[in-house]
Structure 1
Amino acid sequence: METVSIPCLFRCPISLELMKDPVTLCTGVTYDRENIQRWFEEGRLSCPSTMQVLHTLELTPNHTLRKLIQAWCSSNPGMHCIQETREPANEKEIQKLLLKIRNAPTKLGNLRKLADLANRNERNRISIAASGGPSVLICTLSRTRNEAEIMLGEEALAVLASLPIHEAKKECIKSLKSPITIDIICWFLCKGNFHARLHAAQILHGLLSSDQNFKAVFRPDEETFHNFDLLLRDQCHQATETALEILLTVSPVRRNRMRAVEAGVANTLIELLPEAEKGIAQKALSLLEILCQSAEGRASVCGNPMGIRVLVKKIARVSELATEATIGALWHIFKNCKTSSVLREIEEAGAYPKLFFLLQIGCSSSTRQRAKEILRTQGPRSWKTNPCCILADQLKAGELKHQDFHVAKLTVHGRIRALAN
């Protein structure tokens, strides 16, 4: 150690020694896990380097820096390489730590140690869940009277969000689904920082996914839907996906559809779709179809200048499931908002060539039926007089010569594809 110069990047800013387990704070500064946890245990709630007060004590493992340190240690004889993985904790250690947290719920150090164990590996998270961890963490969540206790609650929420709830005991799951606990989680969803809101949403999503009966218990209010909308707007992919999955689960209930639309979810989805990647776009279009089943949802989509245009553009561009959802949303609008302005907007957006193209390439029976219903509104004045349709009719009627059949068929599909694009 004395003969080798350790790069500054590999030194912990607290101890100035080689980092064994580099973790990054919300300020962007990286420390050795052991040193920064000791800093927190001494009651300090700021970044040692910047002295900035931390809005969360969450530690993010810096895997890239860890690998660089490992490579550097391997290339320098005499340096002890840091371990790639750490052994899981035994159940007695976890139970002892949970007992300490239960007996001293305001002591941050024990909670941070539990978070460290949960961050290590899946086996530890299963052991924490099976040892009654959720019940202990719920007790910590309920102590949110002042700023320090709220920070404790946010730490407990982060650990709770990482646990496999299905591994917990029945009494733990029951207490987690109680109205009091749900109210506390929703409080963090509305009042907490970004990480707390994300963790609260992840817990709610886990409960909704694991228990169909929980949907009847979970009755989100207007403010909760507003915060789901904020998560949708966030640049974090995980936050957007979690919010989408929750909304897809609760929105089939009419009361929830109305609140989602009132919170601006439909407009947010329309803004999100143009740049959304495949998975997000598919979920967003499925949610829009559900929202368009209500008058409020249809009015929101039609009232947005880009609403119908965005839907039309996504036909046959994302996935088969997304196309079915898109046609479903347009069909609900077409059936219930058949005004001249809406029909004109559908036509100007290029919907009819795309629908005709969809019928040519094939789709599900329900989607085909809905596409035909929308196309029939045009009658002979528009899509039936289109050169593509005339050529298709000639092919069907056998009016073209046999040698021209293949060329004409390619021409039809080429023209339809060009119009659809």
Structure 2
Amino acid sequence: MILSWRSRRKSKKSKNPGQEINSDMEILNPRHFCCPISLDLMKDPVTLSTGITYDRESIEKWIEDGNLTCPVTNQVLASYDQIPNHSIRKMIQDWCVENRSFGVERIPTPRVPVTPYEVSETCKRVNDATKRGEQKKCRELVRKIKNWGKESERNKKCVVENGAGCVLSACFESFASVSNEDLLGEILSVLVWIPLGEEGQSKLGSVQSLNCLVWFLTSGDLSARQNAVLVLKNLLALDQKHVKNLVEIEGVFAGLVKLIKEPICPTATKASLMAIFYMTSPSSFNEKMVPMFEEMGLVSVIIEILVDGDKSICEKALGVLDHIFDCKEGREKAYENALIVAVLIKKILRVSDLASELSVSILWKLFKNSQDRSEDGGVVVEALQVGAFQKLLVLLQVGCGESTKEKLKELLKLLNLCRVRLDCFDSTADFKYLKRSH
């Protein structure tokens, strides 16, 4: 199979007067420039021990999938070494330049990928420099690792597989009390894409490391704050036992809520919501947390972002509310908010199955614990006024999990009792005109 490029220009004068290149003209990729596996133009041609040249990305995937032979010759590979074929790469680049008038883009010269040996040696040097307290040397080596990761996903994978996460976590802990902002900031920028591992999380979960993370969360620049909350979220996702030490650190609640109130980017907002989600989960619940979050106005902030939030943000925000409303103080703040019921009803059947289930769970907690179900008002009446009965009935008919179904039945009973008592709706009304919201 030979792929082709189509000219991106409507017309162009050729070297011969009066001759034009029409936009419908095509140019074929030379067969020997295409990877035998992907059939695409090779970006980083490498040659195996069998003498056949492939694109590096394609042949690496072939080998990683457990294949031990050359795809073309079917010979067993005596070596997995991939030798860069500079001659073919230069020919491909020259051909791209010659045909740029047809819209062919020049293949950039690929960087030589980092090797496991280079990563291991660099990590060893970071470890040695950390023990000697050489901050400047550590910063140079961390930047080297950071630059490798920027070059390609392959390099990132190589860095991760050769123990960088544990070494950098130990380095961060060692210099956390020194407050070297440049060095520690560089380490955080790498740790956001490196899995921590068991030893790495123990280093970052220490009291001095957590104090430093919170400092970056509250006092760092925008990039540092984003990196800090991402690392913190990853740390809590691995083990929520770190919550105990974290809640004792001054400023952590304000820092997390500020990232939601004054968002840097969606990634930081989602990470902050997830960190709060882990901190407020039943397994790590601390009675200090909910009142502290309430002082920061967390419930009101979350309700505001729910109004126009995307699917991912809505699911995470609803998850946080579901945890917070397990606590009486959290529910009291909800009862004071005029938007809460309307927003929750709106999210049912509009975002995702998870968002619908979380919304039902939150409503169930609010209804179940509400002491005001009288004719004067209350969350039940508010729900009826915004069409909760119809919405929940449709959700029950569409289908949901068993736990959610039981809560739905209880909610519908409460709504129906209140509906009849208050005569909010005509009891003979049918729902043939009811539209599903999704």
TM-score by length of 2: 0.65
What is residue 151 of structure 1 aligned with on the other side?
A: 182
Specify whether residues 299 and 212 from structure 1 end up closer, same or farther in structure 2 by C-alpha distance, changes over 3 A only.
closer
Specify whether residues 290 and 213 from structure 1 end up closer, same or farther in structure 2 by C-alpha distance, changes over 3 A only.
closer
What is residue 386 of structure 2 aligned with on the other side?
A: 349
Larger CA Rg, structure 1 vs 2: 2
C-alpha displacement of 1:73? 9.8
What is residue 258 of structure 1 aligned with on the other side?
A: 291
C-alpha displacement of 1:273? 0.9
The separation in 2 between residues aligned to 1:351 and 1:329, in whole angstroms, is 13
**Residue 112 (structure 1) aligned with residue 143 (structure 2):** yes
- 1:132 is paired with a residue of what secondary structure? helix
| Deviation sequence 1:193-215 (CA, Å, 0-9, x none) | 12212222222222222224334
Percent identity of equivalent pairs? 23
Specify whether residues 131 and 182 from structure 1 end up closer, same or farther in structure 2 by C-alpha distance, changes over 3 A only.
closer
What is residue 171 of structure 2 aligned with on the other side?
A: 136
| Deviation sequence 1:247-271 (CA, Å, 0-9, x none) | 1111131522332222222111111
> Which amino acid is the alignment partner of residue 295 of structure 2?
E
- CA contact under 8 A between 1:311 and 1:330: conserved in structure 2? yes
Instruction: Select between 124-133 and 225-234 the one with higher mean Cα deviation.
Output: 124-133
Pick from 233, 248, 254 the counterpart of residue 226 of structure 1.
Answer: 254
Alignment map for 1:7-406 (pairs within 5 Å): 74-75=96-97, 82-84=108-110, 86-89=112-115, 90=118, 91-100=120-129, 103=132, 104-107=134-137, 108-120=139-151, 121-129=156-164, 132-144=167-179, 149-166=180-197, 170=199, 172-219=200-247, 221=249, 223-233=251-261, 234-252=263-281, 253-255=285-287, 256-339=289-372, 340-342=376-378, 343-364=380-401, 365-381=405-421, 382=423, 385-389=426-430
Specify whether residues 328 and 173 from structure 1 end up closer, same or farther in structure 2 by C-alpha distance, changes over 3 A only.
closer
C-alpha displacement of 1:316? 1.8
> Which amino acid is the alignment partner of residue 357 of structure 1?
V
- CA contact under 8 A between 1:270 and 1:307: conserved in structure 2? yes
| Deviation sequence 1:330-358 (CA, Å, 0-9, x none) | 22222223423324322222222222333
Specify whether residues 249 and 298 from structure 1 end up closer, same or farther in structure 2 by C-alpha distance, changes over 3 A only.
same
**Residue 416 (structure 1) aligned with residue 434 (structure 2):** yes
Greater percentage in helix:
1
Q: Which runs of 5+ in 2 are unaligned?
A: 1-91, 100-104
> Which amino acid is the alignment partner of residue 99 of structure 1?
D
The separation in 2 between residues aligned to 1:73 and 1:183, in whole angstroms, is 56
The separation in 1 between residues aligned to 2:183 and 2:168, in whole angstroms, is 15
- 2:247 is paired with a residue of what secondary structure? coil
Specify whether residues 113 and 310 from structure 1 end up closer, same or farther in structure 2 by C-alpha distance, changes over 3 A only.
same
C-alpha displacement of 1:106? 3.2
Specify whether residues 229 and 130 from structure 1 end up closer, same or farther in structure 2 by C-alpha distance, changes over 3 A only.
closer
The separation in 2 between residues aligned to 1:164 and 1:357, in whole angstroms, is 42
C-alpha displacement of 1:72? 10
C-alpha displacement of 1:383? 6.7
Specify whether residues 201 and 73 from structure 1 end up closer, same or farther in structure 2 by C-alpha distance, changes over 3 A only.
farther
| Deviation sequence 1:54-86 (CA, Å, 0-9, x none) | xxxxxxxxxxxxxxxx99994269x99543454
The separation in 2 between residues aligned to 1:72 and 1:338, in whole angstroms, is 78
Specify whether residues 130 and 238 from structure 1 end up closer, same or farther in structure 2 by C-alpha distance, changes over 3 A only.
closer
- CA contact under 8 A between 1:388 and 1:415: conserved in structure 2? no
C-alpha displacement of 1:165? 0.7
- CA contact under 8 A between 1:186 and 1:200: conserved in structure 2? yes
TM-score by length of 1: 0.67
The separation in 1 between residues aligned to 2:396 and 2:355, in whole angstroms, is 16
> Which amino acid is the alignment partner of residue 142 of structure 1?
S
- 2:300 is paired with a residue of what secondary structure? helix
- CA contact under 8 A between 1:375 and 1:383: conserved in structure 2? no
| Deviation sequence 1:129-183 (CA, Å, 0-9, x none) | 2672321233233321xxxx323322222123332111x6x3x543322112211
Specify whether residues 208 and 375 from structure 1 end up closer, same or farther in structure 2 by C-alpha distance, changes over 3 A only.
same
Specify whether residues 129 and 73 from structure 1 end up closer, same or farther in structure 2 by C-alpha distance, changes over 3 A only.
farther
- CA contact under 8 A between 1:352 and 1:383: conserved in structure 2? no
The separation in 2 between residues aligned to 1:190 and 1:73, in whole angstroms, is 53
What is residue 407 of structure 1 aligned with on the other side?
A: none
Specify whether residues 328 and 270 from structure 1 end up closer, same or farther in structure 2 by C-alpha distance, changes over 3 A only.
same
Instruction: Select between 347-356 and 179-188 the one with higher mean Cα deviation.
Output: 347-356
C-alpha displacement of 1:329? 1.4
Specify whether residues 131 and 303 from structure 1 end up closer, same or farther in structure 2 by C-alpha distance, changes over 3 A only.
closer
- CA contact under 8 A between 2:218 and 2:252: conserved in structure 1? yes
The separation in 2 between residues aligned to 1:138 and 1:74, in whole angstroms, is 50
| Deviation sequence 1:344-374 (CA, Å, 0-9, x none) | 3222222222223333333333232332243
> Which amino acid is the alignment partner of residue 87 of structure 1?
P
Q: Which runs of 5+ in 1 are unaligned?
A: 1-69, 390-411
- 1:214 is paired with a residue of what secondary structure? helix
- CA contact under 8 A between 1:140 and 1:153: conserved in structure 2? yes
Number of matched pairs: 320
- CA contact under 8 A between 2:97 and 2:106: conserved in structure 1? no
> Which amino acid is the alignment partner of residue 341 of structure 1?
G
C-alpha displacement of 1:96? 2.9
- 1:417 is paired with a residue of what secondary structure? coil
